[in-house]
Amino acid sequence: MVRTYCKKGSDHQNHQAITKVIYGTTPEKNGFNQFPDTPRYATGYTTLFNTLGFVPETHMLKAYNERVKVTYEFMVSAINYAEKNHTKIKSVRANAAATYKAGDSYPIDWAIDSSKVSYIDFKGFEAGYKPSDVSGKNRLYYDRSKPFTKKIPFYGKYKATQFVTVPKAYIVPQSQWPILDILLLNKMEYSQLKKDTIIEVETYKIAQYETSKSPYEGHYGHYNTKVNRQTEKIQFFAGDYVFSTEQKGMKYLLETLEPEAVDSYFNWNFFDAILQQKEYFSSYVFEDLAKEFLDKNPKIKAELEQKKQNDKAFAENGAAQLDWVYRQSPYYEKAHLQYPVFRIN
């Protein structure tokens, strides 16, 4: 199987891309892409702690004894390599641990760098098409009487496409126990506020996200998440958790607590409650409140008038205008789309 990466989020869509490669084209025509081991995968997870990780994948169609043998041989090779190169491995790991600190830019999304390509010797069989015994349509097959070795392109380099500034620390309210349980399970170091405190923090409001249409590992994951940032003074309480980024698990904190990161807790549905608007207004009551609010806020009133001039449909829709005013007013539900993890910069 060719491992490919589909930029649109879910592994169901990744599977569709893989199916297209297997049945629609052949490897020697398009080459291979390096698979990006994001944190959801074992090898992606280990790198968050600057640790080497491997997932040997033996082909399901091979005989069982052959699969056991090659797995054993791989383990022996890996152990021997580590023994011979332990000094270099320790040095590289120490350097990796010191790569990022508070205030630095940290990459949270990647794309194949098509400008960097190498070529590998690919041993295969010539491909052809013949009528399918199932559908009668042309199907791909490989002619084992016609082996070949060809140089094919291999795209093994990724480039960072999105960054976030590393904060000094994250504050997680104690009410967010579902993610706190996992953070502590992964041995993240923390302190707790000793008293109620007002702290200036950077806050996130979820501005955009998409959700996969089919489940993966029991989740309808989000992707293409975007946030709006704002600096505010927030009331926190005794017992709330503070996770400094000056720790071995810094990368784990960034990859899970930054909502725009590919495998963030947000994208894995841990904060779906904030996506539901639970409060609204009764028009006959809010009409008077809206007028009073606009009279006291001439700038917002001017913005409303400008929006009506620029948008004819909006100008003719009284309910839409009232909703717009509500969203600008202090009566709007504060928790809606408000990401409940906070950054100390």
Pick from 154, 216, 156: nearest CA to 16: 216
pLDDT at 211: 98
pLDDT single digits (tens) 228-253: 999 999 999 999 999 999 999 999 99
Task: Kindly indicate the confidence band of residue 145, based on its pLDDT and cuts at 50, 70 and 90.
Answer: very high
| Secondary structure class of 179 (helix, strand, coil) | helix
Mean pLDDT of 185-198: 98
Quote the tokens at residue 110: 């990647």
φ, ψ for residue 154 (rounded to 5)?
-130, 120
Q: Is the pLDDT of residue 29 over 60?
A: yes
Residue 275 contacts residue 228 (beta carbons within 8 Å): no
Number of H helices, E strands in the chain: 11, 11
d(CA 342, CA 172): 7
Q: Is the pLDDT of residue 332 over 90?
A: no
Mean pLDDT of 31-35: 88
pLDDT at 23: 40
pLDDT at 10: 42
pLDDT single digits (tens) 92-136: 999 999 999 999 999 999 999 999 999 999 999 998 899 999 999
**Burial profile 57-71: b = 16 or more Cβ within 10 angstroms, e = fewer:** eeeeeeeeeebeeee
pLDDT at 160: 95
Task: Kindly indicate the confidence band of residue 217, based on its pLDDT and cuts at 50, 70 and 90.
Answer: very high
Pick from 30, 36, 34: nearest CA to 124: 30
Burial of 218 (0-12, 13-18, 19+ CB in 10 A): exposed
pLDDT at 334: 87
List Cα–Cα distances, 101 to 105, 163, 212, 342, in angstroms.
9, 14, 33, 18
Residue 67 contacts residue 59 (beta carbons within 8 Å): yes
Strand blocks (E) in 73-182: 105-112, 118-131, 138-155, 158-165, 169-172
Residue 150 contacts residue 122 (beta carbons within 8 Å): yes
State the angle between helix axes of 177-185 and 250-257 in degrees (0 to 180), rounded to the nearest 10. Answer: 150
pLDDT at 25: 67
Residue 67 contacts residue 58 (beta carbons within 8 Å): yes
Q: Is the pLDDT of residue 219 over 90?
A: yes
Q: Is the pLDDT of residue 8 over 90?
A: no
Quote the tokens at residue 135: 């559908």
pLDDT at 267: 98
Q: Is the pLDDT of residue 18 over 60?
A: no
List Cα–Cα distances, 22 to 8, 32, 59, 177, in angstroms.
19, 12, 15, 43
pLDDT at 82: 95
d(CA 118, CA 154): 5
Mean pLDDT of 204-215: 97
pLDDT single digits (tens) 40-73: 999 999 999 999 999 888 888 889 999 999 999 9
Count of beta carbons in the 10 Å neighbourhood of residue 316: 10
Sheet holding 118-131, edge to edge: 32-33, 138-155, 118-131
Q: Is the pLDDT of residue 17 over 70?
A: no
pLDDT, the chain, mean? 90
pLDDT at 46: 95
Contacts of 216 (CB under 8 A, 6+ apart): 10, 11, 12
Q: Is the pLDDT of residue 207 over 60?
A: yes
Contacts of 172 (CB under 8 A, 6+ apart): 179, 180, 183, 240, 241, 242, 243, 257, 340, 341, 342
pLDDT at 342: 98
Check residue 4 and report its DSSP letter: -
d(CA 211, CA 218): 13
| Secondary structure class of 324 (helix, strand, coil) | helix
